Chain A
Amino acid sequence: MADGVSQPAPSEDAGPALLHMQGIVKHFPGARALDGVDLTIRAGEVHCLVGQNGAGKSTLIKVLSGAHHPDAGTITWRGEPLTVATPVAALRAGIATMYQELDVVDGLSVAENVFLGHELASGGFTQRRTAAARTRELLLRLGHGDISPHREVGRLSAAGKQIVSMARALSHDARLIIMDEPSAVLDSGEVANLFRVVRELTASGVAVLYISHRLEEIRQIGDRITVLKDGRTVAESLPVAATPTADLIRLMTGRTLGQTFPVRRALPADAAEVLAVEGLGLRGVFEGVSFTVRAGEVVGLAGLVGSGRSEILETIFGARRASEGHVHVAGTPLRAGAVEAAVRAGVGLAPEERKSQGLLLDEPVYRNITLSTFSRFASGAFLDEDAERAAAGDQIRALDLRPADPDRAARTLSGGNQQKAMLARWLVHGCRVLLLDEPTRGVDVGARAEIYGLVRRLAEKGTAVVVVSSEIEEVLGLADRVLVISEGRVVHSGPADQIDEHGVLDLVMEGSPA
């Protein structure tokens, strides 16, 4: 199915695999998470795991660390089959995880953190001196004899906390340390130090599974790379030195299977300008963003994670307060940082994180659909739930939302149907401008086509649409015009059919310090 994507795995080098995962599958109700992941890690290597948001990296880590149980697949650890039943079991086997949000207790000392959960004790009394001595040894091994075991962790920098986290992993005698975006909280000097520590770890035979969005880091520190996309391994154990960065991005963003996009219609010459963004900026994130969208036009924003593309949408919508620039809807300026003003002017946003930013998960679908409009159905202050249910029902039928039950809790819907509910909310509202952030994230392949078709139909009815997506293919296929965002700046603007994936990638790469 995924032809043209799965790279032939490079011939296995000699050396026994420390960890071998095969065909790992994990389903959640309403969401696909892992759908056949293969991963092989050798002792003493830095193995990088890359993929877009939602590709399944976090779930895979959770399976390895014992937080989730896979529905199918096998894990072989040092030649023996392994079932990771609990986080403790993972640690006992020698697999330690350093989470992105550093899991240290600020109020405790360094030594107390290192031995958290497996305190050195005799007869119920903690052996503080032994713990301190052993912590000092571990810190020395990590090249950080400067950190006192008695220091309160809350007073350490993010980099210091990371060292504590690593010392904890070593205190469990870990053979494999999983590092989830360890550089996200560090500045460049601290990253260099992190790399030094990682090299020392691997020199002593410990394997590191390194997860990062920053491809240039992977180039510096990684030995081999596995690429995930849509919950599957699309390329396994590529040697870092022989893999161009452009190939990696292509693997991460490329099409899953022959996705067809609806046919574009030419814009009428007299289509009115609906959305005008002038010199919009958010300090430290993006600046000088200007573009216009006409009625019936779909404009796509392409760029890598962290380029500022989602923040641009949120700032237009008023969910973030712009530090410079203006947004006009049909000629009227929007008040900065006021979502309700944007909504009143006919702007709708389908956010990236549907569950945490978009939906009331325990409320019925119809109330989610009418969340922006219930007061319009009300007579005075009194709700008209029958009218709401009817309006929601119309959208449920029009969008083929399944199951077609307006009273079902939003939580029980699949990702695609939750997205349809979000779109239905703005359809009921009657939006002039629709902002879509990752509209097909967590949406299965069948439902994607429906959502593409829906976006097109909306545009044909005169809605101005702005789409942000990690998948360049999606932006190019869906949009009439494409803006390429790199490092918080618009580096290119032009018709979508005059640029291809390579062109976008080249522009994206130019901007990033690769």
Chain B
Amino acid sequence: MTEQDVRAAAPATDETPSRWRRLARGGGGRNVGLIIALALLCVVGVATSGEQFANVNNLMTILRLAAVIGVLSVGMTFVITGGGIDLSVGSVLGLASIWATTLATQTMAEDTHWIVMVFTALAVGTVAGLINGIAIAYGKVVPFIATLAMMVAARGLAEMIANRQTQTVDVASFKDFFRSDILGIDVLVWIFAVVAALGWVLLNRTTFGRRTIAVGGNPEAARLAGIKVNRHTMYLYMLAGLTAGIAAVMMLARTTAGSSTHGQYYELDAIAAVVVGGTLLIGGRGTIVGTVFGVLIFSTLTNVFTQNNLSISAQSVAKGAIIVAAVLLQQRFAARHRST
């Protein structure tokens, strides 16, 4: 009885913090740290490179750098929020870039429309994701292993198809479209923005997003509530494959060639961006806004290092430090969240 009286008295004092917590959950609270990190990087950039860093062209460079990994990271955010991991996205990107630039595909694209190449890349990505999804959801293969196998196999298949050679994009209309800009902003950056915006809506405003959070947070509870957990898990990997296909198209536009080496280690960059952004690796909570910040932090870091002529190796060390720092902060946050 006394216990209940205490609990009954509690709501009055809890009214305000709960509203704050809601705000924090919405992203505002936790993203403050990411905004500060990004701002600090910019300050360092301006201090060390001045005008050379702080101009519109350089800003575009950073965004262009962020775009491909950014699209992959949006797909990765869904997979990780749903309690999985996808190591294959980088390889699948490479495979899709090859498949979309084979002689057959390009000839067909020349005859009809460049959209054929886009469609091919997206289809290759989605089918690769479907295979991952079936193996994981229905075959009960651990996600790490299933997608590791896909990572190796997709890269191999790409090499076989391309005979280890790069395939230049000859469809002029494809290059014209994807290498242009709209309102002074690159098409690639627009694609990233649109994918991120759609991803945000999908995760936060749709039944698909709610299922993702439920499946990642407690698959058994989700199943007993009537959610088709296996089918949804499969969809999540298909979504990641689809983003790998989109990223392949972007890669083709940037490099004007398909290559079996495209996208190498991109899966690691994507996972790093997602984790730094605040999505829980154990699933059940994900944030697209955080992921976008994570991607921007890493590409700004690369840019600042490049401007100062610092080596790629030094960049890697800094990246590693950021990942560990972010995860440590995340755990702190999680612990405090649990205890309240």
| Interface residues in chain A, defined as those with a beta carbon under 8 Å from any beta carbon in chain B | 317, 319, 339-340, 342-344, 349, 351, 356-364, 367, 371-372, 374-375, 378, 381-383, 402-405, 407-409, 411-412, 414, 425, 444, 446-447
Contact = CB atoms under 8 A, between A and B. Distances in A.
Contacts of A364: 25
B227 A340 contact: yes
B226 A340 contact: yes
Interface in B199-236: 205-210, 213-214, 217-218, 220-228
B207 A383 contact: yes
A402 B8 contact: yes
B206 A383 contact: yes
A362 B224 contact: no
B57 interface: no
Nearest to B206: A381
B184 interface: no
A189 B305 CA distance: 69
A362 B285 contact: yes
A152 to B, nearest CB: 24
Given A405-B11, A411-B338, A343 B206 contact: no
B206 A378 contact: yes
A135 to B, nearest CB: 34
Contacts of B309: none
B174 to A, nearest CB: 31
A339 B226 contact: yes
Contact of B224 (A349, A374, A383, A444): A349
Given A363-B217, A383-B206, A411-B338, A351 B224 contact: yes
A357 B207 contact: no
26 contacts: A339-B223, A342-B226, A343-B225, A343-B226, A349-B224, A357-B224, A360-B213, A360-B214, A360-B218, A360-B221, A360-B284, A362-B217, A363-B214, A371-B225, A374-B210, A381-B207, A382-B206, A383-B207, A383-B209, A402-B4, A402-B8, A403-B7, A403-B14, A412-B340, A414-B7, A446-B1
A319 B229 CA distance: 12
Given A405-B18, A407-B18, A446 B337 contact: no
B3 interface: yes
Interface in B313-340: 337-338, 340
Interface residues of B, number: 37
Interface of B: 1, 3-4, 7-8, 10-11, 14-15, 18, 21-22, 25, 205-210, 213-214, 217-218, 220-228, 284-285, 337-338, 340
A364 B10 CA distance: 17
The 4 tightest CB contacts between A and B, nearest first, are A343-B226, A371-B225, A403-B11, A360-B217
Contacts of A407: 18, 21-22
Contacts of B224: 317, 319, 339, 349, 351, 357-358
Nearest to B204: A383
Contact of B220 (A317, A356, A446): A356
A405 B20 CA distance: 13
B218 A359 contact: yes
Contact of B222 (A351, A361, A371): A371
B14 A372 contact: no
Contact of B221 (A340, A344, A359, A383): A359
A445 to B, nearest CB: 9
Contacts of A382: 205-207
Given A360-B218, A371-B222, 18 more contacts: A339-B223, A351-B224, A357-B221, A358-B221, A360-B221, A362-B285, A371-B214, A371-B221, A372-B225, A382-B207, A402-B4, A402-B8, A402-B11, A403-B11, A405-B18, A407-B21, A414-B3, A447-B4
Given A319-B223, A402-B8, A444-B3, A340 B206 contact: no
Contact of B225 (A361, A404, A411, A425): A425
A361 B218 contact: yes
Chain B CB within 10 Å, residue with most, of A362, A409, A411, A414: A362
A403 B285 CA distance: 24
A414 B10 CA distance: 13
Contacts of A446: 1, 4
Contact of A381 (B10, B208, B225, B284): B208
Contact of A362 (B10, B11, B22, B284): B284
Contacts of A317: 224
B10 A403 contact: yes
A92 B18 CA distance: 45
Q: Which of A349, A375, A381, A403 has the most CB of B within 10 A?
A: A403
Contacts of B226: 339-340, 342-344, 372
Contacts of B227: 340, 371
Contacts of B214: 360, 363, 371
Nearest to A319: B224
The winner among A317, A356, A405, A425 for most chain B CB atoms within 10 A is A405
A358 B221 CA distance: 4
A378 B204 CA distance: 13
Nearest to A417: B7
B114 to A, nearest CB: 30
Contact of A367 (B15, B210, B223): B210
Contacts of A447: 4
B172 to A, nearest CB: 38
